[in-house]
């Protein structure tokens, strides 16, 4: 289990503590649902979200949360994969930080914690996708050492 404490400087609060831990219980998923809805507004309700995350968990999906007190302020959903392009790699499915916690280092701490997990799991690469129109996200990823390598294509069926 990943359990880390990060002390981050915050302009409004002299010192804020963010605790990183994997979501595991129904209560954890309930707390994380409003945050995930900021990224995935099509999600219907907390119970459906928890059920889907648990199904994905059977395929190796993990959901790392940044907690401040009893509130989830950020989430990073990821899984280990392997293919002929990257070899063994960690893929980030979801990365979101609440609007009030942005610019306080939470996203960077989530990226770094997940990147560290990729290293522990002997992954050769750290991979994520983002929308073409997500210029702010792209700037954030560049600042954290990620480089654009291609385009992602999909087709609804």
Q: In this predicted model, what pLDDT tens digit does every residue of 17-36 receive, in sequence order?
A: 899 999 999 999 999 999 99
Of the pLDDT bands very low, low, confident and very high (cuts 50, 70, 90), residue 94 is: very high
DSSP-assigned beta bridge partners for residue 6: 18
Mean pLDDT, the chain, rounded, equals: 89
Of the pLDDT bands very low, low, confident and very high (cuts 50, 70, 90), residue 16 is: low
Pairing relationship of beta strands 62-68 and 16-22 according to DSSP bridges: antiparallel
d(CA 144, CA 126) in angstroms, rounded, equals 12
Which of these ranges, 6-10, 28-32, 103-107, has the smallest mean pLDDT? 6-10
Secondary structure string (H, E, C) spanning the chain: CCEEEEEECCCCCCCEEEEEEECCCHHHHHHHHHHHHHHCCCCCCHHHHHHHHHHHHCCCCEEEEEEECCEEEEEEEEEEEEECCCEEEEEEEEEEECHHHCCCCHHHHHHHHHHHHHHHCCCCEEEECCCCCCHHHHHHHHHCCCCCCCCCCCCCC
- Say whether pLDDT at 5 is over 90: no
pTM value? 0.85
Per the structure block, which two tokens stand in for 60? 């190796």
Phi, psi of 121 (to 5 degrees): -90, 10
């Amino acid at each position: 289990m990943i359990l880390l404490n990060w002390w981050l400087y915050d302009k409004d609060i002299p010192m804020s503590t963010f605790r990183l831990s994997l979501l595991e219980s129904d209560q954890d998923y309930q707390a994380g649902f409003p945050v995930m809805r900021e990224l995935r507004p099509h999600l219907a309700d907390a119970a459906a979200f928890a059920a889907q995350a648990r199904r994905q968990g059977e395929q190796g999906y993990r959901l790392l949360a940044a907690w401040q007190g009893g509130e989830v302020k950020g989430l990073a959903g990821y899984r280990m994969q392997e293919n002929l392009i990257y070899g063994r790699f960690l893929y980030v499915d979801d990365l979101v930080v609440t609007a009030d916690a942005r610019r306080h280092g939470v996203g960077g701490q989530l990226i770094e914690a997940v990147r560290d997990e990729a290293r522990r799991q002997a992954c050769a690469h750290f991979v994520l996708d983002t929308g073409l129109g997500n210029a702010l996200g792209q700037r954030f990823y560049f600042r954290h050492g990620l480089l654009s390598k291609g385009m992602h294509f999909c087709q609804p069926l």
